[in-house]
Amino acid sequence: MSSEPRYSDNFAEWLETDGLGGFASGTVNGIRTRRYHALLLTALTPPTDRVVLVNGFEAWVETPGGSYPISSQLYGPEIVHPTGRNRIHSFESEPWPRWVYLLEDGTQIEQEIFVVRGSATTVLRWRLLEGSKATLFFRPLISGRDFHNLHRENPNFNFEALTETARVSWQPYESLPRIFALHNGEYEHHPDWFRNFVYVAERDRGLDSQEDLGSPGTLRWDISKKSANLILTTDSKVSLTKAVSLRTRETKYRTAFESPLHRSADQFLVKRGEGQTIIAGYPWFTDWGRDTFISIRGLGLATGRFQETKQILLDWAGLISQGMLPNRFLDQPNQEPEYNSVDASLWYIVAVDELRTSCKKNSITIPKKEQQKFEEAIQAILTGYSKGTRFNIRADDDGLLAAGQPGAQLTWMDAKVGDWVITPRIGKPVEVQALWLNALKIGSKEDKQWKAMLKVGQTSFRERFWNEELGYLYDVVDVDHEKGKVDSSLRPNQIFAVGGLPLILLDKKEAAKVVQAVEADLWTPVGLRTLSPHDTHYRGHYRGGVAERDGAYHQGTVWPWLMGAFVEAWLRVGGKKKEIDKRFLQPLKDLTHCYGLGHLAEIADGDPPHKLNGCPFQAWSLGELLRIGK
């Protein structure tokens, strides 16, 4: 066993999604490290209003050789109990999480977990691989809470169980759905509290990290005779007889994808109302406008999902207000979306244009009414922005787009702690101009009025953003709306003037200098730093409490999604296409086997070895990898 991988030390995370906003997730070694790790986490109003129903479980196996735990928990202050993680012999993440446990007496037990697409349903199965006799015991750990919160022992928790043949159910709180456990074993009711679980990922983030969970009883199976099947669901219509068919259906669904990464992309497409949307990242994000329009080019178009992409963009078209699209929807239903982004609406125009181009290349016709709806959305955005809208967003006399007011952060560099805006970018941020000029170019195809503004804006951009002395572009001009005031910080935002968007805003010589500057100071194998290491404000590590982490979020922290625009820019100034895979793509693909399995993380440390961090399953990180790798 000394040569085997040490699965007991493996905190890499797996993810199973239901297509409704709900999911199951955990770590390879079985220890829950986040408040979001759960077996049954469901969206009551897809994809929002998410609640944790079944957090985890205790499991052990009894054989003639003794009793052996196959689960592990972390309790405060730093106690791992029991020792199940030490018995993990192997782990596979495809087509769903599967563990093999090797017990001290030679018995081998297989455990697998998958979530059913389109249903708040998690299926678990255990079977005996080696050994003559074994009995499996399973104790669910239950809360019934908002997925952002934590749970504590309290007298209102209801342990009562309703037992039927092959089914037991619990409802810890009246306001939440009943939890149905369908099984082919035996249930014994003996409620108890399990106290003081510790979630180290939350503790490391400076957040509350301790929780108490209720356990109503124990399920038992003689797995020497048959596999142990368990379905956890909120759907009262699901029956145990469907366990085999659900497994067959899921196998067929998952193996139909071109690659595991294409299947991972599918996990971000979820239901919203009668339509679909894109989750920005698991486990804590909902659907964000900016993230949707950036990631959909890879998750939707690069994977050939043209109809879903079209429908998502059509649904968003109906949400325009004063020329703006929402930046994010809140977690609770019936709350108004937030229109606090200058770039989300511009990314929408880029995404629509790429959809139309992709459909034309693939001989797909977009109906005239839908074409008209897209065009009306584009013109509404351009008109709203040119005349002026929220947050001082307005077209200036130089053809560029000004935006911002104190206390508001409107660009993708949106970290804010209380009233402290970490990277204030009031004025004319460089990537916003790139998006604005691309949007004007796209809009002028149908409405010629934008051509004059585009021409003025392109000239102004070259004159006002290029810094000949430094050899790269300013990050912001007219800082704080003061004419001529500039921010010369070396940041990756300038790459969008050269790559990632259809229109190139610099001549080849200047573009090459931009790529050279970005590559020299900002490029890493896992993405681009958000600030040059030579800057006095540079932060090379993303760690600590909320203020410390957010203070580093855009001050040197690496973002993998930026690699897409960089690779395009690198190619445009003379990079060789045959070198892309080895130099840029493979290092990113290698990252999908750690941290968030099958996915790319949100961020990484600016300093080597570039430890992955933030959201482990990030939509635009994976989307850009798929887009540049197609």
* 430 is a domain residue: yes
591 with 464, same domain: the answer is: yes
Cβ neighbours, 10 Å, residue 160 = 11
pLDDT of residue 351: 98
DSSP state of 481: G
246 with 268, same domain: the answer is: no
> Is omega for the bond preceding 216 within 30 degrees of 0, making it cis?
no
List the beta bridge partners of residue 130. 108
d(CA 501, CA 316): 21
224 with 289, same domain: the answer is: no
Q: Counting beta carbons within 10 angstroms of the beta carbon of residue 572, is it exposed (0 to 12), middle (13 to 18) or buried (19 or more)?
A: middle
291 with 377, same domain: the answer is: yes
318 with 463, same domain: the answer is: yes
* 1 is a domain residue: no
Tokens found for residue 490: 């070396």
- Distance of CA 550 to CAs 145, 328, 470, 567, Å? 26, 19, 28, 27
pLDDT digits (tens, 9 = 90+) for 372-422: 999 999 999 999 999 999 999 999 999 999 999 998 999 999 888 888 889
- At residue 583, what is the residue type? R
- The CA radius of gyration of the chain, in Å to the nearest whole number, is 26
d(CA 313, CA 294): 12
Give me the residue label for tokens 């070396």. 490
171 with 278, same domain: the answer is: no
- At residue 362, what is the residue type? N
Which one, of 368, 392, 395, lies nearest residue 450 by Cα? 395
Which one, of 340, 307, 329, lies nearest residue 21 by Cα? 329
153 with 189, same domain: the answer is: yes
204 with 241, same domain: the answer is: yes
* Angle at 197 (CA atoms; ends 195, 198), nearest 5 degrees: 150
Give me the residue label for tokens 């691309």. 438
Instruction: Kindly state the helix (H) or strand (E) to which residue 196 belongs, with its residue range.
Output: strand 186-198
Instruction: Report the b/e string of 260-269 with b at 16+ CB within 10 A.
Output: bbbbbbbbbb
d(CA 529, CA 604): 9
Strand bridging mode 269-272 / 275-278: antiparallel
d(CA 337, CA 461): 32
d(CA 228, CA 210): 31
d(CA 119, CA 19): 8
By the 8 A CB rule, do 7 and 88 touch?
Answer: yes
pTM of the model: 0.96
By the 8 A CB rule, do 124 and 153 touch?
Answer: no
- Domain range spanning residue 141? 7-255
CATH code of 596's domain: 1.50.10.10
The number of CA neighbours under 13 Å toward the Cβ of 49 is 11
* 30 is a domain residue: yes
246 with 288, same domain: the answer is: no
Q: What is the 3-state secondary structure (H, E, C) of 120-172?
A: CEEEEEEEEEECCCCEEEEEEEEEEEECCCCCCCCCCCCCCEEEECCEEEECC
Instruction: Report the b/e string of 203-223 with b at 16+ CB within 10 A.
Output: eebeeebbbbbbbbbbbbbeb
* 322 is a domain residue: yes
Cβ neighbours, 10 Å, residue 535 = 16
184 with 286, same domain: the answer is: no
* 98 is a domain residue: yes
CATH code of 187's domain: 2.70.98
Q: State which of 255, 290, 316 marks the end of a domain.
A: 255
Which one, of 324, 444, 319, lies nearest residue 393 by Cα? 324
pLDDT digits (tens, 9 = 90+) for 273-309: 889 999 999 999 999 999 999 999 999 999 999 999 9
* 2 is a domain residue: no
Please enumerate in sequence order all residues whose Cβ is within 8 A of that of 547, keeping only pairs 6 or more positions apart, or say none. 417, 420
Phi, psi values for residue 114, rounded to 5°: -145, 155
Instruction: Report the b/e string of 436-473 with b at 16+ CB within 10 A.
Output: bbbbbbbbbeeeeebeebbebbbebbeebbbeeeeebb
Phi, psi values for residue 50, rounded to 5°: -90, 140
d(CA 41, CA 34): 13
Phi, psi values for residue 239, rounded to 5°: -120, 160
Q: What is the 3-state secondary structure (H, E, C) of 81-113?
A: ECCHHHHEEEEECCCCCEEEEECCCCCEEEEEE
Q: State which of 227, 255, 283 marks the end of a domain.
A: 255
- Distance of CA 358 to CAs 33, 277, 278, Å? 41, 19, 19
Q: State which of 221, 255, 289 marks the end of a domain.
A: 255
Report helix, strand or coil for 575: coil
pLDDT of residue 242: 76
Which one, of 379, 365, 367, lies nearest residue 442 by Cα? 379
pLDDT of residue 335: 73
154 with 289, same domain: the answer is: no
Which one, of 628, 626, 542, 538, lies nearest residue 577 by Cα? 628
List the beta bridge partners of residue 422. none
291 with 229, same domain: the answer is: no
Cβ neighbours, 10 Å, residue 382 = 25
- Distance of CA 336 to CAs 330, 332, 344, Å? 7, 10, 17
* 144 is a domain residue: yes
Which residues, given as ranges, of the chain have pLDDT below 70?
1-5, 330-334
Tokens found for residue 403: 């935006």
DSSP state of 45: E
Q: How many domains does the chain fold into?
A: 2
* 602 is a domain residue: yes
d(CA 182, CA 238): 8
